Copies of this chain bind each other. A is one copy, B any other.
Amino acid sequence: MALIKKPTTGMKDVLPREMQIRDYVTSLVKETYSTFGFTPIETPAVEHIENLSSKQGGENEKLIFKILKRGEKLVIGADSSEDDLVDSGLRYDLTVPLSRYYSNNASQLPAPFKALQIGPVWRADRPQKGRFRQFVQCDIDILGEPSNLAEIELILATTTLLGRLDFSDFSVRINDRRILKAMAAYSGFEEKDLDTVFIILDKMDKIGIDGVREDLVANGFDAASVDKYISLFEGNKEGIGFIEELSQKLGDFLPEGCADSLTGIIKSVERVKKADFSVIFDPTLVRGMSYYTGTIFEITMNEFSSSVAGGGRYDEMIGKFTGNKVCACGFSIGFERIITILLDKDFKVPAKGEKMAFLIEKGADSDFIASVMEEAAALREKGQCVLVSMMNKNKKFQKEQLEKDGFSSDNIKEFYHSDFKV
């Protein structure tokens, strides 16, 4: 029977050119984070359906690829809900597996634990251009480090990575959930309204400060509160002095040490950074995930006005999963976004020497082939790529194809039997 040739809906075959870039970025990720003491780990693609449906995954829980029970556990025709049919599913992120991994293995892991995960996740999203149902996520997390050393390390490591990928002209925007909350509380908003307020605030870069004001009023919030809130965002909001200024205003609304911690992160990163970027305090930065408890941060490519990495501190989440409180801070790097940017700018993976192609005349005997292979082996031992092929009848076409595949014509060498018969 003939195969269905296309991949399943929304999934893709990775062609050699893209694969080369993916492999390069993957190895750079592993190399860079390992110098910062991050340890790569791996969890199975398949997770318990209970773990995937624990309400921590938000909307993603609607997009699970579910796996059919097997053997006696599956009774065909006797199902009254999906629960009767499935026992597991493909992971939709790396956070649920990390939590399970940590709770299963903590006694065998260093403390604090600096984890690097890079691997595929699956979401049965509506198929659309550039968005796939299997894609790679890349997460770094520090578990068990309460101080801002975690944030400093995460930001330094990730910006070092971006610098090594020749990315420049990006910014790290940083804020703290506790500042967000304090600003809202100081202005008179109630706890129960915070989600709505933050969703509106999050639109600042699109609708501007006046848009945010209008939207808040339109949502029925008290005009005095809205005015007080809006006035907090005025002034030189990007300077580090602004944190101090805000902190003075907010007084007891802000937990002690919060402003100092944030200032410390910005100062340390600015002083130690190895790439060309700035760290900006951005009191309008919200980030969607409700599990963040402290610092939040995002890296934006100025050229693309899109985020390539984001994260923050989530000191409560792992405890909810495992029963023991574990402070945690993490960064999720937009692996697929980075690959798309590199493909778009026709990025060339740095090669180890030039690729060579050896073409052997047809009908070669084994002595002849061995001689060519010996010459190839000497170069290969030095790490150089040598492609050995039999010469086609249409040699011209063959060489054109090789040039398309990146072999320069100077590096295509022909071997004729007669050369060895002397």
Contact = CB atoms under 8 A, between A and B. Distances in A.
B46 A8 contact: yes
A13 interface: yes
A273 to B, nearest CB: 9
Contacts of A15: 41, 105, 108-109
A35 interface: yes
A382 to B, nearest CB: 9
A389 B3 contact: no
A112 interface: yes
Interface in A347-396: 355, 357, 360, 362, 365-367, 369-370, 373-374, 377, 379-381, 383-390
Contacts of A386: 35-37
Contact of A366 (B5, B134, B264): B264
A352 to B, nearest CB: 8
Interface in A392-422: 401-402, 405
Contacts of A65: 46, 67-68, 70
A219 interface: no
Contact of A68 (B5, B85, B145): B85
Interface stretch (A72-80, A175-183, A291-299): A72-80
A325 interface: no
From A34, A101, A122, A323, residue with most partner B Cβ within 10 Å: A34
A271 B373 CA distance: 9
A22 interface: yes
A204 interface: no
Contacts of A112: 389
Given A27-B27, A156-B377, A48 B4 contact: yes
Given A122-B46, A263-B366, A86 B68 contact: yes
Interface in A89-126: 90, 96, 99-101, 103-105, 108-112, 114, 120, 122, 124
B385 A35 contact: yes
A7 B263 CA distance: 41
A173 interface: no
A30 interface: yes
Interface stretch (A49-57, A277-285, A305-313): A49-57
Interface in A151-188: 152-153, 156, 160
Given A19-B39, A76-B82, A81-B76, A272 B7 contact: no
A7 B369 contact: no
Contacts of A80: 76-77
A389 B19 contact: no
From A3, A20, A79, A374, residue with most partner B Cβ within 10 Å: A3
Interface in A219-271: 263-265, 267-268, 271
A128 interface: no
B374 A114 contact: no
B5 A35 contact: no
Contact of A39 (B16, B122, B272, B402): B16
A321 interface: yes
Contact of A388 (B87, B111, B133, B149): B149
A288 to B, nearest CB: 22
Interface string A136-157: 0000000001010100110010
7 contacts: A37-B385, A76-B79, A76-B80, A145-B389, A149-B389, A149-B390, A272-B373
Interface of A: 1-8, 11-16, 19-20, 22-23, 27, 30-31, 34-37, 39-48, 50-51, 54-55, 65-68, 70, 74, 76-77, 79-82, 85-88, 90, 96, 99-101, 103-105, 108-112, 114, 120, 122, 124, 133-134, 145, 147, 149, 152-153, 156, 160, 263-265, 267-268, 271-272, 274, 321-323, 355, 357, 360, 362, 365-367, 369-370, 373-374, 377, 379-381, 383-390, 401-402, 405
Give me the 9 closest cross-chain CB pairs, A-B, nearest first: A37-B387, A264-B366, A11-B44, A14-B42, A35-B380, A268-B370, A66-B68, A271-B370, A16-B39
